[in-house]
Chain A
Amino acid sequence: MTLRWLKPAFRKQGAAALVSKHSSIGIAAHDDVPVKPPSGYWRLGERSGSGVSILIERRAVWVNSVLILALVLAGITYLCLGSLTLGPREVISALAGQGDMMTGFMVQELRLPRLIAACLTGGAFALAGILMQTLARNRLATPGIIGIDNGATAFAVASVVGMSVSLAPSAMALTGAVTAAVLTFGLAAGSGTQGYRFIVAGIGVGAVFGAITQLLLARVAIDTANAAYPWTVGSLNARSGGSVQLLGIGLALGFVAALALARSLTVLRFSEATASGLGINTGARRIQILLLSVVLTALAVAVAGPVGMVGLIGPEIARALSTPRHVPVVAATLAGALVMVLADLAGRTLLAPIELPVGIVTAIIGGPWLLWILMRPQRSHA
């Protein structure tokens, strides 16, 4: 964890390249001799003069391109399959607004909005997950596990079954997520945000909200319980257009914010002392990251309910593909979207005509995955 090891980490950020001033980094900035980029990087920009150049990590470019390609392929498959199977060519022409009305309706009105919702929720869950993991320096600390999903769910269900308050589910989910986050972090304050204790505190908070959700569901009529059902398992079938738009805006802003925070994220993985020593205001950064993670989770829960484990699987995939030099924010978001699209595709088609809610698919894949992570010999946390 020497400074030497850290340096490259400052200078790159996936495909969204980080612009860095040589002077601030201090490698050969005042040399007239062109500096070779560190191995594994491309450099764009001026060789001399302004002193500004852009370093792009090759591996990150590769990883993100592959993920985007996979996402596009998965998306097209998603649009093709269903109760009426279409060919890729038909789908593409339908997307372009050509082709006949029935295909157009099916692709543009039925499958495409759901695909978009899947991408957005998957991306938001995974982004929230990797932010929380980095913050807690623990790969198990995703919002789903520390009870934030459950908090959002309890409040959203309360609004659906009409417990006197009639706020829209999105707003209620946000309130619930913030409440749960405040509770978890407040209650675990003494033990710090690191380590597993804070996670167990989160599990406790989650269990309380889970019990409240069950209680709410048990007290209403079966039809109302049915209406609130998506919020208890996670499903993309009952999403409302408004909350998808809200999530889209939230994810776009959150994504940009996460990129802006990327350098801090990289450093926050190390000890508090190291991070402060490197000029990061850790307290303020932590709060920003926490807030971002909670808001993204809440917006995603408002669309799809508590789809478990995406916040865990997405970052895991991203980390497995990327170098450990930095926090793979972009790759995690893409991987989360990919996981969600594939899971929902499986849920829609595997047991047709019965549709399996996406939350059940991800829990069945994610549960064993989580166990596997736990059983691996322990290495570094983040």
Chain B
Amino acid sequence: MLRTVLRLSLTGVLLSSLAANAQARELDTAFGEVAVPDTPERIVTLYEGALDASVAAGVTPIGAIATRGGNEVATYMGEHIDTSQLEMVGVAREANIEAILRLQPDLILAAPQLPEEQYRLLSRIAPTVVPNSTGLSKEGWKDESRIFGQALGKDAEINEALEAVEQRAAELNQRLSEAKVGGTAYIVRWMPAGPMVMSSELFSTGVLASAGLTVDDQGLVKEDSAHSDILSLENLSLIDGDWLFLATLNEEGQQALDAAKQSSAFTRLNVVEQDHVVPVNGQVWSSASGPLAAQALLDDIEEALLP
């Protein structure tokens, strides 16, 4: 019975998406023009940035992939929506296409680096929007959010959310410069053998920069790589700036800090002696992107730098 209903409705969706082209909107994506329904209702997000943008635009998807390093979506999402309602359709490494098919979405929002083979299959299930961005960049997430917002038919809402982020960043920037707080900052991930320096061309480093900090990766990070090789402990002085943000893949930034503090090479850094090390939640800082994550980052920065 259920199956019949599912099938009929899916057939309906497929047919209607063909028939309704006239009223559908066209979007420019990485795989060319894609027609999306006017008011999509069953949305599946296969990218943390897409989930963030949807929720920021006021739309709750029915399915999403788990955050990196977890089996659920990132915990900061729980402040905005009831995450238990979200069906998990895979992990960042691979989406489970059968699970997506079972949800019969009418719109799929995917990551910029979606492989073409996956796109071909997904686009048979529902119109699939893949943002047209290449490589890493500080501001690329805004364009991604915008196209996801357009796909959802929520242009105004997403622009409002992005403006709110920019406004808040500018405000924070001013307050920091008034308080004479700032300078250079590094984001590192602490591994047992030493730190990995995150690229300066990332979402999180972009938000840091917008708040007025100078983010640098000392040329340690190769082009198009998110982070450097593990740095030798003898070279920790390379990350001895004014602020150090310490992340793991997970929420346990504090644990990473405790681990790092066991190394004498770390504790003798100026930035550590001044207590300017900020342990942060890696789910937001190294995996997520989008307006809501940006607000969460700005919260963290404000709390740490303007106590």
Contacts and interface: CB of A to CB of B under 8 A. Distances in A.
Interface of A: 82-84, 100-103, 105-106, 109-110, 219-223, 226-227, 229, 237-238, 240-241, 353, 355
Which of the four size classes fits the interface of chain B? 20 to 34
Interface in B88-116: 88, 92-94, 96-99, 101-102, 104, 113
B218 interface: no
A101 B96 contact: no
Specify which of B94, B99, B229 lies most central, judged by the most chain A CB atoms within 10 Å of its CB.
Answer: B94
A110 B227 CA distance: 35
Contact of A226 (B11, B92, B96, B101): B92
Given A222-B68, A240-B117, A241-B117, A102 B101 contact: yes
Contacts of B6: 102
B165 to A, nearest CB: 24
A101 B92 contact: no
Given A109-B124, A220-B225, A221-B226, A100 B11 contact: yes
A220 B125 CA distance: 33
Across the A-B interface, the 7 shortest Cβ-Cβ residue pairs = A83-B98, A221-B226, A226-B93, A102-B10, A100-B7, A102-B7, A83-B99
Nearest to A99: B7
Interface in B1-36: 3, 6-7, 10-11, 14
A82 B98 contact: yes
Nearest to A242: B117
A102 B92 CA distance: 25
A84 B104 CA distance: 12
B249 interface: yes
B121 interface: yes
Contacts of B117: 240-241
Contacts of A227: 93
B101 A106 contact: yes
18 contacts: A82-B98, A84-B3, A84-B101, A100-B11, A101-B7, A101-B11, A102-B101, A102-B104, A105-B101, A105-B124, A105-B125, A106-B98, A109-B121, A109-B124, A110-B121, A220-B225, A221-B226, A222-B249
Contact of A83 (B3, B96, B121): B96
A356 to B, nearest CB: 12
B102 A103 contact: no
Contacts of A223: 68, 92, 113, 226
Contacts of A109: 121, 124
A83 B102 contact: yes
A235 to B, nearest CB: 9
Interface string B236-265: 000000000000010000000000000000
A84 B92 CA distance: 22
Contacts of A84: 3, 98, 101-102
